């Protein structure tokens, strides 16, 4: 049986052919040199693949529709975790959609039947993941006691500062000139390096926060990621067979790791350390990161490829220096931006200060006073916003779109340049170098600060549609108190106006509707 399966699989690959009766130029091309035949990442026929995926869906959806719904599982979980899913699910869904597109592009660009077979299976996986995550958001919207926000992510992702930055990172799957760069960004970095923190460790945090819903579907998704990692490794092995590829491969890998790390680690660190119940002991994010990203990915996975001329990205070592503090800075700014968000969040309780000081020595000195003050500013009766601590929006990096405040505000890098009749900020020398390799890719982009410079905060909220059904109460809230929620009138009473320091009206003006 095994022998006939191998023969059948080999037979299928012989059907990969180009018609001779037409002159067909592939719509997507790569500058990498890839052999016409390589080892198959895994031998699997599509009919077997379909049966396996169908069984996974039956198990995942069946448990949610039956046991979890009847036990009211969504409302038993810590609201800090459930609320942040309103942002995380549309963000991850965007990544899956870009991944689906990349598989189609790779199938056109890479003339290798073994690799194409893997790309086809992964394309179908990504379709399933997009549907599963959309279904999961609908499930929460149907069963969670405060559904406001679960249907908003797709509407505001163009201008929400958090989703803008994440989309900028995952758009590297398809936005670069070469689909092999997309493979490095998706299969080699995002899936091999970051799906463990996202789909495995996140389920641990979810379970310890009392959420049994997300693990049911995320572990089903993660079971597909092993094949996707195999696709990436097979493509990487094919590229490494030709020495002409090594110089561009090293540069592309450095760039793709940094682009994915800059936003993904920022969001995951906030999710792991802040959006859960800390009364249940869980390792801090930097320990997960050191194990899975630095040692497993950098040391084991990439380390084995050094004999072929590929080295661990320099950006990985820079990322390790930042990882201790960037999540805390991100949590501070995420909370300060609450009026522009579509989920509720609460100030960090003082009972958690000891946890953070223990796992991140020196934490209180830099972040404790902000969270102490946030309790007062969370009450709308006090007519005070955490945003008022920032007279201007920090400069936003032209490449990765994150504020130039990391790893901490007091230790941040910021580089300002005037190029092409526009002002640009960069959060690091790495982002500045990426920009200058291909400035046209970033020149036309308008960031959040440029779009809304000189807008009243209340006008931005109304423009983005961040109000509940009553047309008055904000979707985002800085607390979990449902008796007295912030309204648009409270925001107007504060009178905060968005100022962006790099706005250059001589070159452009985006302050009008």
| 395 DSSP assignment | P
Q: Does the pLDDT at position 109 exceed 80?
A: yes
Under DSSP, is residue 491 helix (H, G, I), strand (E, B) or coil? Answer: helix
Whether 319 and 289 have beta carbons less than 8 Å apart is answered as no
Higher pLDDT, 94 or 39: 94
Residues of the chain with pLDDT > 70, as a percent, come to 86
311 within domain boundaries: yes
Tens digit of pLDDT for each residue in 262-295? 999 999 999 889 987 766 667 899 998 999 999 9
Tens digit of pLDDT for each residue in 68-83? 565 676 777 888 889 9
Please indicate, yes or no, whether the overall pTM of this predicted structure exceeds 0.75: yes
291 within domain boundaries: yes
509 within domain boundaries: no
Place of tokens 């009026």: 339
* Cβ partners under 8 Å of residue 52, min gap 6: none
The C-alpha atoms of residue 6 and residue 11 are separated, in whole angstroms, by 9
- Average confidence score pLDDT of the chain: 87
408 within domain boundaries: no
Whether 503 and 453 have beta carbons less than 8 Å apart is answered as yes
The C-alpha atoms of residue 488 and residue 496 are separated, in whole angstroms, by 12
Q: What DSSP line would sit under 269-337, residue for residue?
A: HHHHHHSS-TTS----HHHHHIIIIIIIIIIIITGGGGGGT----HHHHHHHHHHHHHHHHHHHHHHHT
Average confidence (pLDDT) over 7-28: 66
Q: Does the pLDDT at position 470 exceed 70?
A: yes
Distance of CA 391 to the CA centre of its chain: 28
Structure-token pair, residue 468: 């509940």
Residue 78's domain comprises: 43-389+456-494
506 within domain boundaries: no
Q: Does the pLDDT at position 6 exceed 70?
A: no
| CATH code assigned at 247 | 1.10.620.20
422 DSSP β-pair partners: 419
Under DSSP, is residue 473 helix (H, G, I), strand (E, B) or coil? Answer: strand
The C-alpha atoms of residue 4 and residue 484 are separated, in whole angstroms, by 68
502 within domain boundaries: no
Structure-token pair, residue 426: 């960069």
The pLDDT assigned to 296 comes to: 93
Q: Does the pLDDT at position 384 exceed 90?
A: yes
504 within domain boundaries: no
Q: Does the pLDDT at position 497 exceed 90?
A: yes
- Beta-sheet strands, E only, within 435-475: none
The pLDDT assigned to 223 comes to: 77
Residue 270 CB: number of other CB atoms within 10 A?
A: 25
The C-alpha atoms of residue 414 and residue 418 are separated, in whole angstroms, by 13
HSE-up of 124 (CA within 13 Å, CB side)?
A: 14
Average confidence (pLDDT) over 352-356: 93
Domain count of the fold of the chain: 1
| 339 DSSP assignment | G
Give the pLDDT band of residue 370 (cuts 50, 70, 90). Answer: very high
Residue 51 CB: number of other CB atoms within 10 A?
A: 10
The pLDDT assigned to 513 comes to: 33
Residue 146 CB: number of other CB atoms within 10 A?
A: 20
* Cβ partners under 8 Å of residue 116, min gap 6: 16, 106, 107, 110
Whether 274 and 343 have beta carbons less than 8 Å apart is answered as no
Phi, psi of 474 (to 5 degrees): -70, 145
Average confidence (pLDDT) over 141-153: 91
The C-alpha atoms of residue 114 and residue 59 are separated, in whole angstroms, by 30
The C-alpha atoms of residue 97 and residue 493 are separated, in whole angstroms, by 41
The C-alpha atoms of residue 216 and residue 218 are separated, in whole angstroms, by 6
Residues of the chain with pLDDT > 90, as a percent, come to 60
209 within domain boundaries: yes
């Amino acid at each position: 049986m095994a022998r006939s399966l191998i023969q059948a699989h080999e037979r299928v690959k012989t059907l990969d052919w180009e018609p001779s009766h037409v002159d067909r130029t592939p719509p997507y091309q790569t500058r990498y040199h890839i052999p016409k035949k390589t080892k198959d990442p895994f031998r699997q026929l599509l009919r077997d693949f379909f049966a396996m995926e169908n069984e996974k869906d039956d198990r995942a959806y069946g448990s949610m529709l039956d046991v979890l719904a009847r036990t009211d599982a969504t409302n038993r979980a810590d609201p800090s975790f459930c609320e942040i899913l309103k942002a995380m699910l549309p963000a991850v869904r965007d990544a899956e959609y870009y991944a689906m597109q990349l598989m189609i592009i790779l199938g056109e660009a890479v003339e290798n039947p073994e690799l194409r077979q893997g790309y086809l299976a992964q394309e179908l996986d990504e379709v399933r993941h997009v549907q599963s995550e959309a279904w999961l958001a609908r499930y929460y919207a149907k069963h969670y006691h405060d559904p406001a926000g679960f249907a908003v992510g797709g509407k505001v992702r163009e201008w929400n500062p958090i989703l803008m930055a994440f989309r900028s990172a995952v758009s590297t799957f398809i936005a670069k000139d070469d689909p092999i760069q997309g493979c490095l960004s998706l299969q080699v970095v995002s899936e091999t390096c970051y799906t463990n923190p996202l789909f495995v460790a996140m389920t641990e945090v979810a379970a310890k926060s009392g959420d049994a819903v997300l693990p049911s579907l995320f572990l089903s998704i993660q079971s597909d990621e092993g094949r996707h990692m195999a696709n990436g490794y097979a493509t990487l092995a094919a590229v490494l067979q030709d020495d002409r590829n090594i110089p561009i491969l090293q540069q592309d890998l450095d760039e793709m790791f940094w682009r994915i790390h800059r936003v993904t680690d920022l969001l995951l660190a906030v999710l792991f350390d802040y959006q859960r119940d800390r009364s249940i002991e869980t390792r801090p994010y930097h320990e997960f990161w050191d194990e899975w990203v630095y040692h497993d990915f950098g040391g084991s996975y990439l380390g084995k490829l050094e004999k072929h001329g590929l080295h661990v990205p320099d950006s990985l070592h820079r990322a390790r220096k930042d990882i201790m503090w960037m999540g805390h800075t991100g949590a501070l700014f995420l909370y300060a931006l609450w009026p522009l968000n579509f989920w509720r969040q609460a100030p960090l309780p003082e009972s958690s200060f000891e946890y953070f000081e223990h796992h991140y020595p020196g934490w209180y000195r830099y972040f404790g006073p902000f969270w102490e003050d946030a309790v007062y500013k969370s009450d709308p009766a006090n007519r005070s916003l955490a945003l008022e601590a920032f007279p201007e929006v920090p400069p936003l990096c032209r490449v990765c779109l994150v504020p130039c405040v990391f790893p901490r505000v007091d230790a941040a890098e910021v580089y300002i340049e005037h190029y092409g009749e526009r002002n640009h900020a960069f959060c690091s020398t790495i982002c500045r170098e990426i920009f200058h390799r291909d400035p046209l890719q970033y020149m036309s982009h308008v960031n959040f600060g440029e779009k809304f410079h000189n807008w009243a905060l209340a006008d931005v909220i109304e423009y983005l549609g961040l109000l509940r059904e009553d047309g008055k109460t904000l979707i985002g809230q800085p607390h979990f108190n449902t008796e007295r929620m912030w309204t648009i009138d409270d925001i107007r009473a504060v009178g905060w106006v968005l100022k962006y320091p790099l706005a250059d009206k001589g070159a452009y003006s985006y302050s009008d509707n």
